Chains A and B, each alone.
Chain A
Amino acid sequence: MDLVSDQGLRIDGRRPKELRKIRCKLGVFAQPEGSAYLEQGNTKVLAAVYGPHQVRNRSKALHDAAVVNCQYSMATFSTFERKRRPRGDIKSTEMTLHLKQAMQASIKTELYPYSQIDIYLEVLQADGGNYCACVNAATLALVDAGIPLKEYVIGCTASLGNGDVPLIDVSHLEETMGGSNLTVAVLPLSGQIAVLEMSQKFHVDHLSLVLNEALDGCRRIYEILNDTVKNHLSEIGAISGWGKSDL
């Protein structure tokens, strides 16, 4: 089955270079320092950030940086078939490590020696690109928590359809039906890549093509998230009246 029809549409009706609809919200919980909810199509993720606070396990404390602790979990109802273990399996552990790597690249950890930042991620509904949605949600939650970042860290996936058409933001169906998938987490303004992963190998001719699409996708997601953050700030700013203090 072709992932892209002759009319240039994907199975779900998108064009190859279109993202899924992204909807997100900051500050969804009161308890944690920062929180966010993000939907990328049917992939839905909650993120919560605690800290910076004292390191729980003293022996792991760093004298010059904060410890970033991530936890990735998937709700038992997030997939077609009920999931037995929400976290702790190999896949989740791997995800956790990759998330940690991406978040560490963005957080200015050097500002918080001997402290710890906890990032909890919960996938409510999984429809492909879980990792990217998690990275993006975590970024928003960190912004909400007011933790200084070098810049946003943004995740995006890309794949190949019909042999040579790059597709971005692949859905679960495309992930399973297509060939190799490429996942990146980047700092979009400086263009630095924090994490890059491929599910299978790409031919060298295709790699740059797919990677460039994924990077472009990241920049576009960045615009969307940045707008959301700005709107969020102006909203709470208006409520607290800080915008009028200059008068």
Chain B
Amino acid sequence: MLTSKTFLRKTKRGNVLKIVREHYLRDDIGCGSKVCKKCAILVEEQEAVLDDQLPDALSKAYKNPHYLIVDTNVVLHQIDVLEADVLCNVIILQTVLEEVKHRSSTIYKRLKDIINDKRRKFYVFVNEHHKDTYLEREAGETANDRNDRAIRVAVKWYDLHLSASQAHVSAKKRIRIVLLTDDAANCEKATKEGLFAASVEDYVCCLKDSKGLEDKISRSESHFDEGSKEIFPCHLTPVQIHDGVKSGKLLQGSFQASRENFLEGQVSVESFEKPILVQGYDGLNRAVDGDVVAVELLPEDQWSAPSEIVLQNDEVEDEEEIVEKVLKVETKQEKTPTGKIVGIIRRKWRQYCGILQHNALQNTTRHIFVPAERKIPKIRIETRQAPTLMEKRIIVAIDSWSRYSRYPSGHFVRALGKIGDKETENEVLLLEHDVPHSRFSEKVLSFLPKLPWIITDEDVAKRTDLRHLDVCSVDPPGCTDIDDALHCFQKPNGNYEVGVHIADVSHFIRPGTALDDEAALRATTVYLVDKRIDMVPDLLSSNLCSLKGGEERFAFSCVWELTPNAQIVGTRFHKSIIRSRAALTYEEAQLIIDDDKQQTSVAKSLRGLNKLAKVLKKRRIENGALVLASPEIRFYIDSETHDPIEVQAKQIRETNSMVEEFMLLANISVAEKIFAEFPEHAILRRHPIPPPSNFEPLVKAANYLGFEMNTNSNKELAESLDAAVKEGNAYFNTMLRILATRCMLQAVYFSSGVVTKEDFYHYGLAVPIYTHFTSPIRRYADILVHRLLAACIGADVTYPDLLDKKKMNNICHNLNYRNRMAQYAGRASVALHTHIFFREKVQNEEGYVLFVRKNALQILIPKYGLEGTLYLYPPKGMKQEVSFVYNEENHTQSYKNIVFHMFDPVTVQLTLDRSNIQHEKLVFKLVKPFIPNFSVSSIDEESKENVTRVEENVSEECGDKAGTSRNPVVLQQMKRKDEDFRSKDSSRKKKHKK
């Protein structure tokens, strides 16, 4: 069965080595076709996936039924065509698979997904280890030529092999092989050898029923080239880049496009503290947001500063002027290192959501696609379905970007739905934020417990029975995934026993199951305004795990004995059974506490908790924990149309803080325990200390108004924030706290084995060690922590991956990524609903100036937690009688005697500009202070015309990603941190309507 064959390989590892490896050639690899009886006997476990009954002649060009074999470049460039359901019965050669793997990991992953899809009938043929199809590389032959030859040999082998097993079928009905290759030379050689070969385009065009597949074909660059003038300089070759980076002449970094100015971006280079600025067509040189690029630093006298101009790609006609404007250096401003991109090291292209730009020409197939994400350039595509796609949001992939074309060229992937439709917009939002939101697969659901679910005696024996305790839960109204409950009573010795009971999700989700894998992938439940994307199936999240009132449920309990002074005397952890006496809302709990007449055990328990929580909070703040106010909003949603009907700032009650304190305490206790037991493998959460430079904007802003900000430590920062109170501007302090939040870094999960102990510190909470334990229903990190803790107390056993530092660290990376994306998605959802709310509305609102910019004011409206730009200069081509004077020193804008400072109150008028269907904009207009010929009058006198006319520009858009600080929902920004500040975060549990 084994034949051995050795081959030689040379690799560079400092010096040239000759590596000899064995290469076994086998005779037990099947062809995977149901037609072939020989192979079916040969390998029993391998399923034959390729059909024996093919629809006769799918294609006009080939009369025989056939299987397809594709070459590497077809996979790499036409993956979208392969992903379409039309093409089935495809053979993927191992040669191709390996090459794809080396060239692009994302495409490799997509290809694997297709292969794993049983309906698609893709078969992987291991030709490299098959005795008849293995090829030795010939002298003078390049690796590519050898692979092409190997592919042809495999095609030939298949043809012969299949015809041998179909000897009884007439030649015209036999299943043949068609080789798809876009390489003309290869195609020709194959045809010469008597094989069927075609390019993808030819093949698809000949299909009888292509179902719009033509649009998905990625066309080569030359197609779009107009042979006109060069817009971009050449990229360096990979070798030049490699040498340049090695010698230090070039720098490697990832490119981030600016969302405000399409001709500007920055490259973050590891060795540089500040990102390198790149500007203009030459500077950007076809880099797309996220790409890893090689950048050349310009000499210092050519350095520039980021322009403060907001520049949209809409007015591209007078491009020369724009470039000039962008490059015009503001001499007064601090210059930053500037460079130009000379080559792309790795493209990070993905698929983009967006719409087609309206095309004046009728009946053309060439169109411009406008991505929803402003950082991404427009994309040229070819499609015949333009009339139907015009109204829809679509997905497009980039194929290439030639030097002669201003925009990259791409192809259509699929349509999502009608623009403006809420379902579509939600879909866009989820896709753009990479939130896995498909329904749970059958395989995942198969791991759920069977209903009716009952507690067996065995379960009771294993767990501590706490059903006698008066446990209750406190949550926001409408919450169905209750993952924590509390109890408290005073012991005879005067101390309190306090218990935090967390849903025992890890009892239901066992490691290694498909259910576990899915939860690990999703990492977190995503809360949109009108929708919840669950991390675990509904049966668990809203029923079996949820600690509902009156139901017996499994819990993981953390029980302390606390002195009346809230000092911990002892801590116990156990898996338990509890019965929650009541599932209260924050409001109900507050009413019970305040109502002295109520003397039930639950009421007493709540009062005890409340008392202890106050002590805990006081101590925490004394230790230097930061309090960052967050004016959250809540949408009231029409039950019929699902449109928001009212927006209201959220109320924070004492009970919110009560629950929060005990969750923090539980998290800290658990973190200490699992770290003591698993010093190398504990999953913890840290919040790094921000570098002092981060605080600059905050310090400066406070200084303008005569306040000193001390940012040396979190304690000093907290104190100086408390001290900064301004008479007559109640909101001033809150705004400072908002600014402070923006100075923070993101808190992250990590495995304790990969970070030194000093870095465990949680800056925001001012505790040396912290983790997440209290919300396993909606966070995967908590499930891992539960498993670790269960192993600590002997309630469960560990499993290999849990004790694998590297794997855990990878999981943590995914958790951090998903969490960030979930936050952005949540914010974008609020922005979307704000827009829907403002449709058909004109409203006057009180706001504050948050920043003063060169041509605009950044306004914050506390009522909606909304932030937007009030433009002081008219858009191009329009005249304005009022001109403002910008004072860079004091950061003020003034007109005559009216001066705008930071933090000044203003009244603005809000309207929604729907002229651009993709980016609906909230328009801010000044009402008060009144400036003649600039301000609009109050709504009452507003004429209808004025509403629709857009004088001041842009502020928000619905598909907008909340990436930068200049984003819609300030409060949501704060939510990022609050995960830790307020573990029990009400906003995450928005009312969920089924």
**Which A residues are within 8 Å of any B CB, using their own CB?**
5-7, 9, 11-14, 18, 20-21, 41-42, 80-81, 127, 163-164, 171, 173, 202-203, 205-206
Q: Give the shortest distance, in Å, between A2 (CB) and chain B (any CB).
A: 10
Interchain CB contact (< 8 A) of A6 among B20, B23, B112, B799: B112
Bound-complex Cα distance A164 to B124 (A): 22
Closest CB pairs A-B (n = 4):
A13-B24, A203-B800, A13-B129, A12-B22
Interchain CB contact (< 8 A) of A21 among B4, B17, B94, B799: B4
Query: Is the pair A12, B21 in contact by a Cβ cutoff of 8 Å?
Result: yes
Decide yes or no whether B350 CB sits under 8 A from chain A: no
Kindly list chain B residues whose C-beta atoms are within 8 Å of the C-beta of A9: 126, 129
Query: Is the pair B22, A171 in contact by a Cβ cutoff of 8 Å?
Result: yes
Q: Give the shortest distance, in Å, between B132 (CB) and chain A (any CB).
A: 14
Query: Is the pair A41, B800 in contact by a Cβ cutoff of 8 Å?
Result: no
Q: Give the shortest distance, in Å, between B680 (CB) and chain A (any CB).
A: 12
Q: Give the shortest distance, in Å, between A81 (CB) and chain B (any CB).
A: 7
Interchain CB contact (< 8 A) of B17 among A80, A163, A171: A80
Bound-complex Cα distance A11 to B94 (A): 12
Among A11, A13, A14, A127, the one with the most B-chain Cβ atoms within 10 Å of its Cβ is: A13
Interchain CB contact (< 8 A) of A20 among B18, B22, B94: B22
**Between-chain CB contacts (< 8 Å), 16 pairs:** A5-B94, A6-B124, A7-B126, A9-B126, A9-B129, A13-B24, A13-B126, A13-B129, A14-B2, A21-B2, A42-B6, A80-B17, A127-B20, A127-B21, A171-B21, A171-B22
Chain B 105-144 interface residues, beta-carbon cutoff 8 Å to A: 112, 115, 124, 126, 128-129
Query: Is the pair B22, A41 in contact by a Cβ cutoff of 8 Å?
Result: yes
Decide yes or no whether B25 CB sits under 8 A from chain A: yes
Kindly list chain A residues whose C-beta atoms are within 8 Å of the C-beta of B2: 14, 18, 21
Q: Give the shortest distance, in Å, between B288 (CB) and chain A (any CB).
A: 28
Q: Give the shortest distance, in Å, between B417 (CB) and chain A (any CB).
A: 35
Among B17, B798, B800, the one with the most A-chain Cβ atoms within 10 Å of its Cβ is: B800
Q: Give the shortest distance, in Å, between B131 (CB) and chain A (any CB).
A: 10
Kindly list chain B residues whose C-beta atoms are within 8 Å of the C-beta of A14: 2, 24
Bound-complex Cα distance A171 to B21 (A): 9
Q: Give the shortest distance, in Å, between A33 (CB) and chain B (any CB).
A: 32
Kindly list chain A residues whose C-beta atoms are within 8 Å of the C-beta of B803: 203
Kindly list chain A residues whose C-beta atoms are within 8 Å of the C-beta of B24: 12-14
Q: Give the shortest distance, in Å, between A122 (CB) and chain B (any CB).
A: 19
Q: Give the shortest distance, in Å, between A13 (CB) and chain B (any CB).
A: 3
Query: Is the pair A127, B19 in contact by a Cβ cutoff of 8 Å?
Result: no
Bound-complex Cα distance A14 to B129 (A): 9
Kindly list chain A residues whose C-beta atoms are within 8 Å of the C-beta of B26: 13
The interface size of chain B toward A, counting residues with CB under 8 Å, comes to 25
Query: Is the pair A42, B22 in contact by a Cβ cutoff of 8 Å?
Result: yes
Among B21, B128, B803, the one with the most A-chain Cβ atoms within 10 Å of its Cβ is: B21
Q: Give the shortest distance, in Å, between B573 (CB) and chain A (any CB).
A: 23
Decide yes or no whether B85 CB sits under 8 A from chain A: no
Q: Output the nearest chain A residue to B17 by Cβ-Cβ distance.
A: A80
Contact with A along B788-803 (1 / 0, CB 8 A): 0000000000111101
Kindly list chain A residues whose C-beta atoms are within 8 Å of the C-beta of B112: 6
Bound-complex Cα distance A5 to B128 (A): 13
Query: Is the pair A81, B129 in contact by a Cβ cutoff of 8 Å?
Result: no
Bound-complex Cα distance A13 to B129 (A): 6
Q: Output the nearest chain B residue to A203 by Cβ-Cβ distance.
A: B800
Say whether, besides A20-B22, A41-B4, A171-B22, A205 and B799 are in contact (CB < 8 Å): yes
Bound-complex Cα distance A113 to B24 (A): 48
Q: Output the nearest chain A residue to B11 by Cβ-Cβ distance.
A: A80
Query: Is the pair A203, B798 in contact by a Cβ cutoff of 8 Å?
Result: yes
Kindly list chain B residues whose C-beta atoms are within 8 Å of the C-beta of A171: 21-22
Kindly list chain B residues whose C-beta atoms are within 8 Å of the C-beta of A11: 21
Kindly list chain B residues whose C-beta atoms are within 8 Å of the C-beta of A21: 2, 4
Q: A41-B4, A127-B22 are in contact. List 5 more A-B contacts (CB 8 A).
A: A6-B112, A42-B21, A163-B800, A173-B21, A203-B803
Bound-complex Cα distance A20 to B800 (A): 28
Among B2, B22, B124, the one with the most A-chain Cβ atoms within 10 Å of its Cβ is: B22
Kindly list chain B residues whose C-beta atoms are within 8 Å of the C-beta of A164: 800
Q: Give the shortest distance, in Å, between A75 (CB) and chain B (any CB).
A: 15
Interchain CB contact (< 8 A) of B18 among A80, A127, A173, A202: A80
Kindly list chain B residues whose C-beta atoms are within 8 Å of the C-beta of A41: 4, 22
Contact with A along B37-57 (1 / 0, CB 8 A): 000000000000000000000
Bound-complex Cα distance A206 to B23 (A): 28
Bound-complex Cα distance A6 to B20 (A): 24
Kindly list chain A residues whose C-beta atoms are within 8 Å of the C-beta of B23: 12-13
Q: Give the shortest distance, in Å, between B702 (CB) and chain A (any CB).
A: 53
Bound-complex Cα distance A80 to B6 (A): 15
Query: Is the pair B22, A163 in contact by a Cβ cutoff of 8 Å?
Result: no
Bound-complex Cα distance A168 to B801 (A): 21
Bound-complex Cα distance A241 to B194 (A): 61
Kindly list chain B residues whose C-beta atoms are within 8 Å of the C-beta of A13: 22-26, 126, 128-129
Query: Is the pair B801, A163 in contact by a Cβ cutoff of 8 Å?
Result: yes
Q: Give the shortest distance, in Å, between A10 (CB) and chain B (any CB).
A: 9
Q: Give the shortest distance, in Å, between B154 (CB) and chain A (any CB).
A: 14
Q: Output the nearest chain B residue to A14 by Cβ-Cβ distance.
A: B24
Q: Give the shortest distance, in Å, between B741 (CB) and chain A (any CB).
A: 41
Chain B 49-92 interface residues, beta-carbon cutoff 8 Å to A: none
Kindly list chain B residues whose C-beta atoms are within 8 Å of the C-beta of A6: 112, 115, 124
Q: Give the shortest distance, in Å, between A124 (CB) and chain B (any CB).
A: 13
Q: Give the shortest distance, in Å, between A94 (CB) and chain B (any CB).
A: 26
Bound-complex Cα distance A164 to B512 (A): 11
Bound-complex Cα distance A5 to B94 (A): 10
Q: Give the shortest distance, in Å, between B43 (CB) and chain A (any CB).
A: 10
Kindly list chain A residues whose C-beta atoms are within 8 Å of the C-beta of B801: 163
Bound-complex Cα distance A206 to B124 (A): 29
Bound-complex Cα distance A44 to B678 (A): 43
Among B24, B25, B801, the one with the most A-chain Cβ atoms within 10 Å of its Cβ is: B24
Bound-complex Cα distance A201 to B112 (A): 32
Query: Is the pair B25, A206 in contact by a Cβ cutoff of 8 Å?
Result: no
Query: Is the pair B20, A42 in contact by a Cβ cutoff of 8 Å?
Result: yes
Bound-complex Cα distance A94 to B360 (A): 81
Say whether, besides A9-B126, A9-B129, A13-B26, A205 and B800 are in contact (CB < 8 Å): yes
Bound-complex Cα distance A5 to B98 (A): 10
Bound-complex Cα distance A203 to B805 (A): 13
Q: Output the nearest chain A residue to B3 by Cβ-Cβ distance.
A: A21
Q: Output the nearest chain A residue to B98 by Cβ-Cβ distance.
A: A5
Bound-complex Cα distance A47 to B77 (A): 55
Bound-complex Cα distance A243 to B319 (A): 100
Say whether, besides A203-B798, A203-B803, A205-B800, A81 and B17 are in contact (CB < 8 Å): yes
Kindly list chain B residues whose C-beta atoms are within 8 Å of the C-beta of A205: 799-800
Kindly list chain A residues whose C-beta atoms are within 8 Å of the C-beta of B94: 5, 7
Interchain CB contact (< 8 A) of B799 among A7, A80, A202, A203: A203
Q: Give the shortest distance, in Å, between B554 (CB) and chain A (any CB).
A: 24
Q: Give the shortest distance, in Å, between A204 (CB) and chain B (any CB).
A: 8
Kindly list chain B residues whose C-beta atoms are within 8 Å of the C-beta of A127: 20-22
Q: Give the shortest distance, in Å, between B515 (CB) and chain A (any CB).
A: 18
Contact with A along B703-729 (1 / 0, CB 8 A): 000000000000000000000000000
Query: Is the pair A206, B800 in contact by a Cβ cutoff of 8 Å?
Result: yes
Bound-complex Cα distance A18 to B26 (A): 12
Bound-complex Cα distance A6 to B113 (A): 12
Bound-complex Cα distance A164 to B800 (A): 9
Q: Give the shortest distance, in Å, between A246 (CB) and chain B (any CB).
A: 38
Q: Give the shortest distance, in Å, between B804 (CB) and chain A (any CB).
A: 8
Kindly list chain B residues whose C-beta atoms are within 8 Å of the C-beta of A163: 800-801
Bound-complex Cα distance A7 to B112 (A): 12
Q: Give the shortest distance, in Å, between A132 (CB) and chain B (any CB).
A: 16
Bound-complex Cα distance A163 to B803 (A): 12
Bound-complex Cα distance A6 to B112 (A): 9
Bound-complex Cα distance A205 to B798 (A): 9
Kindly list chain A residues whose C-beta atoms are within 8 Å of the C-beta of B25: 13
